[in-house]
Structure 1
């Protein structure tokens, strides 16, 4: 048999080494050692890590790369970022949003990202962000899975037109129902918004992803209601709570009750390590809270956890480079996930776990899976996170779509090696 693509001598995420991966017609047909058949294209991985593409389950593509428009976030806080986004929305055009978003998608693909879930603000009566992002989704479909969330940024009940706009966005083709219950004016309104949105999801057969309890307030407990509504409506496995930062401030007794509820509801959790560590704890002096939700405890309770990047160069976050290994590294450090098993799990949190959150089909280096893969300049997931490993090759449907030269440093030191490979710290 003549394959379209054959990658030989790869390491896989599960620890297998010297594995060959053969693909035809955009599908992985064989994953095993010593495949002898020929292929139109054969690549020797030379023992490097072959991974499925990275998955970002939480991003805001309608605001990305807008840093400094119309002004900078002087305080660097979450609330000033929300206010600044409110200033930008009426000024930007659909074309502005498309241009920024497409450029971000280029960056993301180059960094090995194959799927993104982006929240799209519907608190704009013109629905400019929705119109723009639907067009972006169409344009990038050949090389990137883009899932869109109808997100009432200003509050489903707090904004007088948000509910109607959200329905319009869904009718236009947006995939997922979003919410922000902690930003409603009262706790009761937050609870009501969750019930309205979950019932809408149940009626339409859609997934739910809510910004939930993005606060340092231990009494912001909307995730409890989100889990309860998930169970009441039979939405298990289709609902995600993003951020969940108030959990880092809750007392342990309450959390001991909450975690089993989240697990029973099969709720997905999406911490956003870069943004959470930057924006939370702003009212603290010292000691200062870390900001990230209780990742080790959620993981131990059996809750599926996927790390999101959230923002890049926008009103909320001036940094970022579309790198899910940056995200995994920050999640590892902030969560003190320092055992070898936990560090390797952090790679899962930006790949398989997040693919499950998005409900991606055919994901993974498995026979019958889609031939979407990334070859990294590292030999295992931990090393990939440590090095923020170079994405040597990115494949979509078995076709090479991005390539980056290996990272090496040339030394001019007498008696020392002339070339240093960061993936080989010991000679």
Structure 2
């Protein structure tokens, strides 16, 4: 007998609902009998959401020790440098656990977090390594050794990166545009790649997160990926300077990124408010060239980046909210583009993180999220709560179906915000 049947769920791209079955924590062929049956009325179901880019060590620190009055990237970095001095393992773990619960409620089961290692004690990294073990199989957590103040421009930065690997970092990060010179930026990229290659790790670098069209470290990343044969193991995050590149150079670098097999992550929530701060009018949309990259065959993901920290005071850990913003910010409101936004928070980041056994095929772990919406279009439009989240066949999060009523012509009617065809 099956453990669970999910009846009447609609999968992305399918016109008609289907039935999903669980046996021993894995997807199975549907049968008539099951110990539990859940009717879902045609709601959209996808594999778990994947958070491709977040800074868990900084979550919930907005206003500590002071507010970011300018709202700028660089004031945020300065405030965080002050906050780092007061970090404790207990402080980090308590804040992160709160946000991990938010993420799980939103259907996120796989998280890649950048962790600041410009701290001689590596306090945040040690805390998150401990937490990664403590949460066990409840969620999957990848940790990036992220040098917020630079690798070569911060005293002892190279050694701290090496110590971060020894302490348990899964991925090597960097921030070349923050180094003191372009030459140091290039050298920092090469250092990060070499360190990753030596330890068989992946690379995920904050790259060209600036409006400066002369910031071109992503080309160095592509070249190193090709030189070291690291296709599929490298991610460039942000690359907002690409928005300001001239067309001839942009065409060249997009093609080289495609050739290298790199993944890309765009972070529409943070970069919609952080970029363009030096502009008068018109103010640029500072984000990467999502549509051009996708047209070239590059895997592009969406990241949340921040949750109530010195750089972004808003957010609640929902990648779908970031996808909603990108629909507007990235001119991705076309009929074929809106469903693609769902892929950018599921299968696309799953590939970037190198996840195995991810999907809804028979034999895969029975991990899934069900949206309070019948289609990809409505999921993006409404950013609804998640009706159900399954982890290895167990319900780990659920939302009671909300009900809204209006009084119209003296009678109370229910409203669900879904379009219905008129007769």
TM-score under structure 2 length normalisation: 0.97
The yes-or-no answer on 1:20 pairing with 2:19 is: yes
User: 1:301: which partner in 2?
Assistant: 296
The yes-or-no answer on 1:143 pairing with 2:138 is: yes
SS of the residue aligned with 2:42?
coil
1:162 aligned residue (135, 157, 161): 157
What's the CA shift for 1:416?
A: 5.4
User: 2:64: which partner in 1?
Assistant: 69
Give deviations 1:177-207, integer Å, cap 9, x for gaps.
Answer: 0000111000000100111110111121110
User: 1:420: which partner in 2?
Assistant: 415
Gaps of 5+ in 1: none
SS of the residue aligned with 2:261?
coil
CA contact (8 A) 2:177 2:207 kept: yes
CA contact (8 A) 2:21 2:31 kept: no
Gaps of 5+ in 2: none
Change (3 A) 1:274 1:340: same
SS of the residue aligned with 1:367?
coil
User: 1:284: which partner in 2?
Assistant: 279
Mapped partners of 1:330, 1:82: distance in 2: 24
1:198 aligned residue (175, 178, 193): 193
SS of the residue aligned with 2:173?
strand
CA contact (8 A) 1:407 1:422 kept: no
Please give the root-mean-square deviation of Cα atoms over the aligned residues, in Å: 1.2
Change (3 A) 1:134 1:36: same
CA contact (8 A) 1:347 1:382 kept: no
User: 1:97: which partner in 2?
Assistant: 92
Bigger shift: residues 300-309 or 410-419: 410-419
Size of the alignment, in residue pairs? 422
SS of the residue aligned with 2:203?
strand
User: 1:109: which partner in 2?
Assistant: 104
User: 1:336: which partner in 2?
Assistant: 331
SS of the residue aligned with 1:339?
coil
What's the CA shift for 1:139?
A: 2.4
What's the CA shift for 1:292?
A: 1.4
Aligned counterparts, 1:337-356, within 5 A = 337-356=332-351
CA contact (8 A) 1:272 1:310 kept: yes
SS of the residue aligned with 2:294?
helix
The yes-or-no answer on 1:242 pairing with 2:237 is: yes
Mapped partners of 1:251, 1:321: distance in 2: 36
Mapped partners of 1:151, 1:389: distance in 2: 32
What's the CA shift for 1:426?
A: 5.7
Mapped partners of 1:351, 1:416: distance in 2: 42
Aligned counterparts, 1:218-297, within 5 A = 218-297=213-292
What's the CA shift for 1:405?
A: 1.4
CA contact (8 A) 1:387 1:423 kept: no
Mapped partners of 2:409, 2:142: distance in 1: 54
What's the CA shift for 1:20?
A: 0.8
User: 2:371: which partner in 1?
Assistant: 376
CA contact (8 A) 1:61 1:118 kept: yes
TM-score under structure 1 length normalisation: 0.97
User: 1:47: which partner in 2?
Assistant: 42
SS of the residue aligned with 2:150?
coil
What's the CA shift for 1:140?
A: 2.4
SS of the residue aligned with 1:71?
coil
The yes-or-no answer on 1:311 pairing with 2:306 is: yes
Mapped partners of 2:420, 2:329: distance in 1: 25
SS of the residue aligned with 1:48?
strand
CA contact (8 A) 2:87 2:124 kept: no
CA contact (8 A) 1:11 1:48 kept: yes
